[in-house]
Amino acid sequence: MTETIRPLDPVRPAELIAAFALEEAATRQEIGWLNYPALPRLWQAAGDVGGDAQQVLGAFDGTTLVGLAVISRRADGGGHIDRVAVDPAQQRRGWGRRLLAHLLAREPALSIDTATANLAACSLYRHMGFVEQRRWSTPDGLELVRFDHRLALGGDGRLVGVTQCVSPNCDARPGGEPPTLLVVHNISLPPFEYGGDAIERLFTNRIDPSASPFFASIAQLRVSSHFLIRRDGELMQFVSVFDRAWHAGVSHYDGRERCNDFSVGVELEGCDFEPFSEAQYRSLIGLTAALSDSLPLTALVGHQDIAPGRKTDPGAFFDWARVRAATGLPG
């Protein structure tokens, strides 16, 4: 059977009915664990599934819905997990862990609340890198805890919990100096097509020249980037930020040549001719915040800015005002 995690389809009533039934069953089970009959339901009827302020992801084993994750948006732009629920008949098969891993790959800032007495949930969240922030009690005495998750850079220059696809196309930074510049690119392979694994294959020297005439023209390239952000916000890392990725080529910034020496490269899956997704902006802003915690970043620019006349990415549709306001980094 094929395992899939995807948004529920609002035009498929059967999926909404199945989601409501699963959440009801999981809630009844949790009421029993906690001995707390007042535990609130997420929805009152199948028609409530996926209200305007919520995104509902389903985990499917083949065509069978076996788990749910429900996310709402916080005022600061981060995500709050309103519910992670697994069909009681499907528990202890790793579905909760897979749902959380899916979310963490696409949401750089997440929070979740649970009862302190739900020991299994608290243990899972801590194992997945969530950190306890605060505790409080309901008027009738149920103790609750909030966990937060934020991207963090490990001592090896790789983000903790982010999908790693190691590229050989890198080398040491001259003098070992830390990067101070963040460079935004866009990429699509084949051009103007999204999805698939061609970008990972390009950055790891495994692209198949017979798969596309365009691939044949680039198969000899040896290029990489530190990070890739997919259209759905998924973040992947190819090169440690302490190493030099081969992303900028002939370039200059603020009187210095060879921007690869002192920059971090971030590829957005996209092109010059259409907007980037909301999820991509959230991931980019979260990534920049995590890098800024550990690196002396002083500026954020586009490839077009450091290689004018040669490069045009990320292009006219990139929302510089939003990113600069959120990150505080000038150009």
Give 308's DSSP letter.
Answer: B
Q: Of 193, 267, 269, 274, which one is the catalytic site residue?
A: 267
For the stretch 141-177, pLDDT in tens is: 999 999 999 888 999 999 988 899 999 999 999 998 9
- Total number of residues shown for the chain: 331
Closest CA to 59 of 109, 23, 13: 23
pLDDT in tens, 26-70: 999 999 999 999 999 999 999 889 776 789 999 999 999 999 999
All domains of the chain in start order, with CATH: 3-150 (3.40.630.30), 163-327 (3.40.80.10)
Percent of the chain with pLDDT over 90: 87
Cα distance between residue 211 and residue 46, in whole Å? 45
Q: What's the rounded Cα separation, in Å, for the pair 109 and 46?
A: 29
Is pLDDT above 90 for 11?
no
**Residue 193 Cα distances to 14, 110, 196, 235, angstroms:** 31, 30, 9, 18
Clarify whether 267 is annotated catalytic: yes
Work out the pLDDT band at 2, boundaries 50, 70, 90. confident
Query: Which of 310, 293, 291 shows the shortest CA–CA distance to 302?
Result: 310
Instruction: Count Cβ atoms below 10 Å from residue 204 Cβ, excluding itself.
Output: 16
pLDDT (tens digit, 9 = 90+) per residue, 109-132? 999 999 999 999 999 999 998 999
Evaluate if residue 246 carries a pLDDT over 80: yes
- As a whole number, the mean pLDDT across the chain is 94
Residue 3 has pLDDT above 90, yes or no: no
